[in-house]
Amino acid sequence: MQGYATDQGILQTALDWLKQGHDVALVTVLKTWGSSPRPLGSLMIMRRDGIHAGSVSGGCVEDDLVKRYRDQHLSDSNPTRVDYGVNRDDATRFGLPCGGRLELLVERLNDHQQLEQLLTALQQQQLIARHLDLQTGRVTLQTASVADHFIYTHSYVRKIFGAQWTMLLIGAGHVSHYVSQMALLLNYRVIICDPRDEYAQPWNVEGTELSALMPDDAVKSFVQQPCSIVVALTHDPKLDDMALMAALDSPAFYVGAIGSRRNCELRRKRLKQLGLTPSQLQRLHAPTGLAIGSHTPAEIAVSILAEITQQRNAVTHSIKQSVSLV
């Protein structure tokens, strides 16, 4: 079994398996009740021989799914909905937390060309909606936007593929190397901005985009909607401050900068002198990252991604609460 993987990695593996002659089933999380370790739209693929990749429950029901598929107890002809944890006994048997429940969709994959088309679009940083008609099993691909989201109704399932969040990192140094790798795993579109040749030339993190624009121009080019993150990581005020000036005047969800507390206070004074308002400066996370005692570049990257994830989840939780109260 391959554990957690990106959607793109799962699709590529599915295509490889199909080309090798395997029967391949795609499993999608449709709905959850109670605690759930995997969000809606999470994917898993499986073969008749028991090999599988991805995860739909964090390990609770995957073995049972694979067994049922191997023993041909799941339909091959039509998308099949499967419930786990419908009662407390099942929840305990499958290890679902807090008596949770999962509704999953199992469908057979057999269209090489469509998978290749979807993968090509993802490699070109496009957002694609995969629309599955639950009555006919017909799948169509459509252009999507950052405002689109996962939809499940009695007649269709619509999942968005591609990075709906953009992360712009200023500086192609060691910390950016680790931040970008982790951000790719979290399904961000990652752009590295560094106009300095000596830093840009050695950059080699596959899956990221490298820009030689000046930092303020990079922000104006790539940060055009709220699903954006900007983190300044050069330690060079000439570059970081340019990016922050533009980012704090943009719709970016999160704006952060690396540095000691003293240097960050000096930065705030400079930005104030350059005309930023108190409300704009309040948006700045500096020093960026959670205070976890990090020292190495990898540890600093963990702290940065942890704080960004914390901020995103807090907003998501707030939205869910407000909706539940309506």
Q: What is the pLDDT of residue 224?
A: 87
Q: State how far the Cα of 110 lies from the Cα of 91, in Å rounded to an integer.
A: 32
pLDDT of residue 176: 97
Report residues of the chain scoring pLDDT below 70.
1-5, 34-37, 58, 75-76, 86-100, 315-326
pLDDT given for residue 60 in this prediction = 73
Q: At what angle do helices 237-247 and 215-222 cross, to 10 degrees?
A: 30
DSSP per-residue codes, 153-176: -SSEEEEEES--EEEEEE--SHHH
Res 321: pLDDT = 45
Tokens representing 202? 């050695």
Q: Can you give the pLDDT at residue 117?
A: 96
Residues 6+ apart with CB under 8 A from 93: none
Give pLDDT, residue 322.
42
Q: Could you tell me the domains of the chain?
A: 7-161 (no CATH), 165-312 (3.40.50.720)
Task: Tell me the two tokens of residue 137.
Answer: 């099993």
Per-residue pLDDT at 157: 97
Cβ neighbours around 220 below 10 Å, total: 15
pTM for the predicted model, two decimal places:
0.78
Q: CB atoms < 10 A from the CB of 226, how many?
A: 13
Measured between alpha carbons, how far is 166 from 189 in angstroms, rounded to an integer? Answer: 5
pLDDT of residue 98: 52
204 CB-contact burial (10 Å; exposed 0-12 / middle 13-18 / buried 19+): exposed
- Other C-beta atoms lying within 10 Å of the C-beta of residue 129: 19
Measured over all CA atoms, what is the biggest interatomic distance in the chain, rounded to whole angstroms? 70
- Residues with Cβ within 8 Å of residue 29, at least 6 apart in sequence: 36, 38, 39, 40, 41, 42, 43, 56, 102, 103, 104
Predicted local confidence at residue 57, as pLDDT: 82
Percent residues over pLDDT 70 in the chain: 88
Q: Which residues contact 247 (CB under 8 A, 6 or more apart)?
A: 168, 219, 223, 230, 232, 255
